[in-house]
Chain A
Amino acid sequence: MVSRMADAICFTLNGAPVEIAGLSPMTTLLDWLREHRGLKGTKEGCAEGDCGACTVALERADGRHEAMNACIAMLGQVDGQSIRTVEGLLGKDGAPHPVQRALAEADATQCGFCTPGFVMAAYAFAAGGEPPELETIHDALAGNLCRCTGYRPIIDAMKKVAGLATEPAAPPPARTMSPVFENTFFAPRSLAELVALRARHPEALLLAGGTDLGLLASRARQPPQVVIHVAHVPELNTIDAGKQRVTFGAAVTYAHAMPTLVEAYPPLRTYLARLGSRQIRTLGTIGGNLGNASPIGDMPPVLLALETKVKLASPRGARELPLEQFFLGYRKTALAPDEAIESFSLPRLQPGETFHCDKVSKRRDQDISTVAGAYRIRLKNGRIEDARLAFGGMAATPKRASRAEAALLNDGFEAARTALAQDFQPLDDWRGSAAYRLQVAANLLRRLELRLAEPQRPVEVEAL
């Protein structure tokens, strides 16, 4: 059970141990680095996890190096982690790291303000051992914005950094007890503790990756008062890739879940690569995306189309319900005050079933969907026998298009497109007008029809 009421936050920074006590655990890592530690290399460009100027590397015990945003990560979240900043890449003699040198030598800096973030994204990429192909490079850079260079020299540098020597990870020893930081930040180490804490602290917010909650601390400067951090609950970190179903613990990060998801549902490869950025996927969790219940989250349409069941845990025991029944209204879910999302489970595709998904946004990478669509179709003898069509960005909640589904089965695609107007009354906002959203959703069904008819023919500009 919870050990003491005043544990110190312990992590490794640039290879050296750090202990923090007496400071709000909701302080952002970026603020701490800059204002408390005096490390000014890491920059604040937006304080919302979108520009990447604050990128640091999270060095996992298993050797993975992942880029993450320091601006939206709270100190309590980095307890037990190993973090490296741009300053931590310098050699003992103060000489630049080969990754730093590569960017300088490619003329990849102009104003230089975004540069430390690019350096750290490049460092994580270099450590990952990925092939230096354009696709992986863009994927690795999607979380970093540069306003000066036009990216060409940065991309050139990225081609040269792959495989360059990296620093070893040195996280502190794993905790055996569950720490509490400043009596406000609970980090349980078991599901039993999590539900017990949830019952004891109904005022606490559940914090998983914090890629949304962190905005309260960073941009709004009004951090949550009390949080229960679920990231270290072992039961919530499991992935069970079974023969019939794939099941993910609620705290599994996108980065961790991706290989399994992509293996089971291949079209998710590009879709997930467009979800946030690597920095976001390092911390962000699908469980958090569900709990957040945003109408424009990218995962809910996918999970709705794939007939996902969500398992909720509480002191009263666990219950499982279809995801449709989980979303009740705008940012409102069926989660009871004493419950936590434990896991979610998806059936694998059956013979005859295919899965497709689309995301339409103003920018290809690291953008929030104007419209997202996901579809599971079962064909028998060339006829559609079953269809689950789900959309995001079209209503107050992520939602299945039930009338369009029925129309599709009975009368075909044209009827389904028309029926969408009965399923959805979307809103106007900066991402798109209601009319555009409806038109695009209908046109995405046309795209689906084309895909089913001619699977080999490209129907997206990205294919060109």
Chain B
Amino acid sequence: MKGAIHTAQRHDSALKHVTGQALYIDDMPEPAGTLHAALVLSPIAHGRLRKVAVPPSPGVVAVLGPNDIPGKNDVAPVGSDEPLFATDRVFYAGQPLALVVGTTLDAARHAADRATIEIDAEPAILDIEAALAAKAYVQAPQTVLRGDPDAALKVAPHRLSAEFAVGGQEHFYLEGQIGFALPGEDGDMVVHSSTQHPTEVQHICARLLGCDFNRVTAVVRRLGGGFGGKESNASWVAGAAALAAHHTGRPVKLRLPREVDMISTGKRHPFLYRYTVGFDDEGRVLALDAMLAADAGWSLDLTPGVMARALTHTDNAYWIPHFRAVGYACRTNKQSNTAFRGFGGPQGVVVMEDALDRIAHHLGRDPVELRALNFYNDAGNETPYGQTVEGNHLPRLWAELKRDADLACRRAEIDAFNKTSPVLKRGLGLFPLKFGISFNIPHMNQAGALVHVYTDGSIRVNHGGTEMGQGLFIKVAQVVAEVFKVDIDRIRPSATSTAEVPNTSPTAASTGSDLNGWAAFAAANTIKQRMIAFAAEHFGADVSEIEFADNTVRIAPSGASRPGSNQVVSFNELAKLCYMGRVSLSSTGYYKTPKVHWDPASMKGRPFFYFSFGAAAAEVAIDTLTGESRVLRADLVQDCGTSLNPAIDLGQIEGAFVQGQGWFTCEELWWDQQGRLRTVGPSTYKIPGSRDAPAIFSVKMLDNAANPEATIFRSKAVGEPPLMLATAVWTALKDAISAVGDGRTAVRLDAPATPERVLAAVATLKKQ
């Protein structure tokens, strides 16, 4: 059979992608009378809203504001602090104020551009420091605590304190946010949305329209990239389109131009860190006391989850006996920051990496060995939040990485190079990763699927997960093909729809194939068991004698003497026979992740079903005259369990790494002093290009690493973890910079390490 699990299978839409035939929402045929919408945004970061007026102009059909919302003016995914349109106050430059609906896109946009907006500006909080000073938070501080870090720090032989910061990150999905709403009878609304969370689109449209959930159907065939940016932000875009469709009775499309998208939607949370770490003469970490302050932006959005994940990843790969990590979610007058691949994990794991480099410099020890010394181990295998680290691959990953990357040799070679190269410096950085898989919120760890077998033996699968390029549809199709033992081209993945599988979780937290794979398995297996029961009866065999293999079904292959035995029918024939025998060939499937629990009050529990591990080594070069840098080489080893689809997983690993590299290096968001984002398109916001990917890029999946937990065919999630492997690039940059000095002095390097920041760090060292 073609398309078995654990084999490399191409993305199901690859040929449609390359021929331009894959339909994204803006490519769908528009019914006659379709209208187009454009947003009016606040130009002011904070103030009292006096007036929004859009002058009448040709082609404008409607102008909608907060008073036009029949339901509730609230699009918050969590809590209820986020209006679709600002009412009396505005909280960030870029906040939606109104929606203009026109017969053409240009009519709507031109009218929106000409809106009169009166806002009495008030002082704005524009960075984390200012928010901390004002104690402006979107939620109460969260703390993960174990032991007595204060006492342990007091008696530790060595203590170091440091501060650093990381920036936010624009998702820069190539397909901008878009929603297309088509009104039906009785207030029904079909909403095509480029969303990772169709169920939330359904809920928020219903909340805005004031109708039951059953009136709204959210449909998603594919996203042109999501990366977390379409987990909550897609909902209000779809909601605004639905509102306009409700008012006009006509189909309405709202597609955000790139600049509007970047100005109005949330990004990865920037973080500021202050920590004190205590350690012994060997470099063993004894205690950590860390403050993590996130720029949540103006509203809550998904910040609670992001912060919880940051705090539960501050330990990263390391056993820290006494531990405190306090998370402040700062309220600022900026875009409301949101999910972004890693969801706080990347912002958590950097803390110990910074600390260990400082410890290594302080003690004059090898930072690579120092990391290994502090890995979770048999004696210390409990995370600060109470989950035991099981199936720990860290020592093995570290050994394989050091071998594959030829570490010892290259370290010596780089040191020699640096001695004779005054302007260009090279650096090497290694990074180990432990990343928890599951939604931190236990109830979200559930999924549903719907499988139909038709009488010609063709199979249609539907599930709650969305296809955003990550290859979820092909992986789930492989699972279904495996159940029925038929060729994968017999399996038709179908657009995600709240009408087919309801009450779903977002495709996020790397859980897409873990959850939906099992749900589809359950659905397919239910049908298969019915087919087996029928075949046994029909052919006079025992159910244990029915065997699915290679597009066929074999009946009692060993019972040759009995009537009906040793027959072979095609899968297609059996499907037809089942129908004739009045057997249901359709089933739902459901899965909930076992074992997970979490107490948000004590910040203790087992939030993760399992951990994914990885390790990376990066080599960089910097120019100490300009601060420019290049990633010369990266070696990655990623734990994928037993990969469901090595081709897809390889793509996830490479793509995530380069995306993480962008966060650490060239991707800089820049707000002016009025709090207006000024990096609003690819000409000003620079994501990595082809030349930026590591010149030598060696990626390996850890072999013989079947997941000890009962995940779908013992695979592991892969969407987010490899993004954090790019931390090695940041570590390598610091290593290169420290070569400017005596090699013993640690340096602060905030991310993104733009040429300007690298040069500033070089200058700091030169002064010392």
Q: Name A residues whose Cβ lies closer than 8 Å to a Cβ of B.
A: 34, 39-51, 53, 85-87, 89-90, 96, 100-101, 103-105, 107, 109-116, 119, 134, 137-138, 141-142, 144-155, 219, 221-222, 358, 360-368, 370, 429-433, 436, 439-440, 443-444, 446-447, 450, 458-464
Point out the residues of chain B lying under 8 angstroms from A42, CB to CB: 20
**Nearest opposing residue in chain B for A113, CB measure:** B224
**Interface residue stretch chosen among B372-380, B445-453, B653-661:** B653-661
Cβ of A363 and Cβ of B629 under 8 Å apart?
A: no
Do A430 and B655 touch (CB < 8 A)?
A: no
Inter-chain contact A430/B668, CB cutoff 8 Å: yes
The 4 closest A-B pairs by CB, nearest first: A41-B20, A111-B469, A113-B224, A112-B17
Could you list 29 A-B pairs, sorted by A, with CB under 8 Å?
A40-B20, A43-B174, A45-B176, A45-B258, A51-B682, A96-B18, A107-B10, A111-B222, A111-B468, A112-B11, A112-B22, A112-B469, A115-B20, A145-B174, A146-B174, A147-B174, A147-B227, A147-B687, A148-B655, A149-B654, A150-B656, A150-B693, A221-B110, A363-B666, A365-B689, A429-B678, A433-B756, A436-B755, A458-B424
Binding site for A on B (CB under 8 A): 10-11, 13-24, 26-27, 106, 109-110, 113, 171-176, 222-227, 257-259, 423-424, 426, 468-471, 621-623, 625-630, 632, 647-648, 650-651, 654-659, 666, 668, 670, 678-679, 681-684, 686-693, 695, 697, 754-756, 759-760, 763
Partner of B690, one of A142, A148, A436: A142
Decide if B655 touches A150 in the complex (CB within 8 Å): yes
Candidates B224, B626, B695; contact of A360 at CB < 8 Å: B626
For A140, the closest partner residue in chain B by CB is B690
> Given A149-B654, A366-B689, A440-B759, are A45 and B17 neighbors across the interface (CB < 8 Å)?
no
Residue in A closest to B18 when the chains form the complex, CB atoms: A100
Residues of A within 8 A of B628 (CB): 360, 364, 460-461
Contacting A110 at CB < 8 Å: which of B15, B655, B670, B681? B655
User: Is the CB–CB distance between A104 and B18 below 8 Å?
Assistant: yes
Q: Is the CB of A43 within 8 A of B175?
A: yes
Judging by beta carbons under 8 Å apart, are B632 and A464 in contact? Answer: yes
Assuming the A-B contacts A436-B759, A461-B628, are A151 and B469 also in contact, with contact meaning beta carbons closer than 8 angstroms in the complex?
Answer: no
Given the complex, which residues of A lie within 8 Å of B692, measured CB to CB? 363-365
Q: How far does the Cβ of B15 sit from chain A's closest Cβ, in whole Å?
A: 5
Extra contacts, 8 of them, besides A100-B19, A145-B682, A154-B690 (Cβ < 8 A), are A44-B26, A89-B19, A100-B15, A138-B691, A147-B227, A362-B755, A365-B690, A440-B625
Residue pair B686, A464 in contact (C-beta under 8 Å): no
B469 touches A110 (CB 8 A): yes
Q: Are A440 and B626 interface neighbours, CB within 8 A? A: yes
Given contacts A46-B682, A154-B690, contact A113 B174 (CB under 8 A): yes
Complex CA distance for A92 and B426, rounded to whole angstroms: 53
Q: Chain B: which residue is nearest A440 at the CB level?
A: B626
B623 CB contact (under 8 Å) in A89, A145, A460: A460
Which A residues touch B668, using CB under 8 A? 362, 430
- Nearest CB in chain A: distance from B561 CB, A: 50
Q: In the docked arrangement, what's the CA distance between A352 and B152, Å?
A: 69
> Closest chain A residue to B422 by CB distance?
A450
Does B691 lie within 8 Å of A365, measured CB to CB? Answer: yes
Q: How far is the CA of A41 from the CA of B13 in the complex (A)?
A: 14
Check B225–A111 contact: CB distance below 8 A: yes
Closest to B685 in A: A430
CB distance from A269 to the nearest CB of B (A): 15
Question: Measured between C-beta atoms, what is the minimum distance from A272 to chain B in Å?
Answer: 15
The reply to whether B686 and A221 form a contact with Cβ atoms under 8 Å apart is no
> Among A48, A150, A463, which residue has its beta carbon within 8 angstroms of that of B681?
A48
> Assuming the A-B contacts A138-B691, A150-B654, are A109 and B19 also in contact, with contact meaning beta carbons closer than 8 angstroms in the complex?
no
Q: How far is the CB of B518 from chain A (nearest CB, A)?
A: 23
CA gap between A416 and B14 in the complex, in Å: 56
State in angstroms the CA–CA spacing of A459 and B24 once bound together: 46
Residues of chain A within 8 A of B109, CB atoms compared: 221
B627 to chain A, nearest CB (A): 8
B23 near A461 (CB under 8 angstroms)? no
In the assembled complex, the Cα of A44 lies from the Cα of B471 at a distance in Å of 23
Cβ–Cβ < 8 Å partners of B690 in chain A = 137-138, 141-142, 144, 146, 151, 154-155, 365
Instruction: Identify the closest chain A residue to B679 (Cβ).
Output: A430
Once the chains bind, are A362 and B630 in contact (CB under 8 Å)?
no
- Of listed B15, B16, B690, residue having the most chain A CB within 10 A: B690
CB distance from A397 to the nearest CB of B (A): 20
A145, A436, A461, A463, most chain B CB atoms within 10 A: A461
Point out the residues of chain A lying under 8 angstroms from B754, CB to CB: 362
A462 surroundings in chain B (CB, below 8 A): 630
Known: A112-B469, A150-B658, A430-B684. A444 touches B626 (CB 8 A): yes
Flag if A219 contacts B13 (CB, 8 Å). no
Contact residues in A for B110 (Cβ distance below 8 Å): 221-222
Q: Which residue on A lies nearest to B29, using beta carbons?
A: A38
Residues in A with CB closer than 8 Å to B658 are 149-151
**Residues of chain A contacted by B623 (CB below 8 angstroms):** 459-461
* Residues of chain A with a CB closer than 8 A to B470's CB: 110
Chain B minimum-CB-distance residue to A446: B625
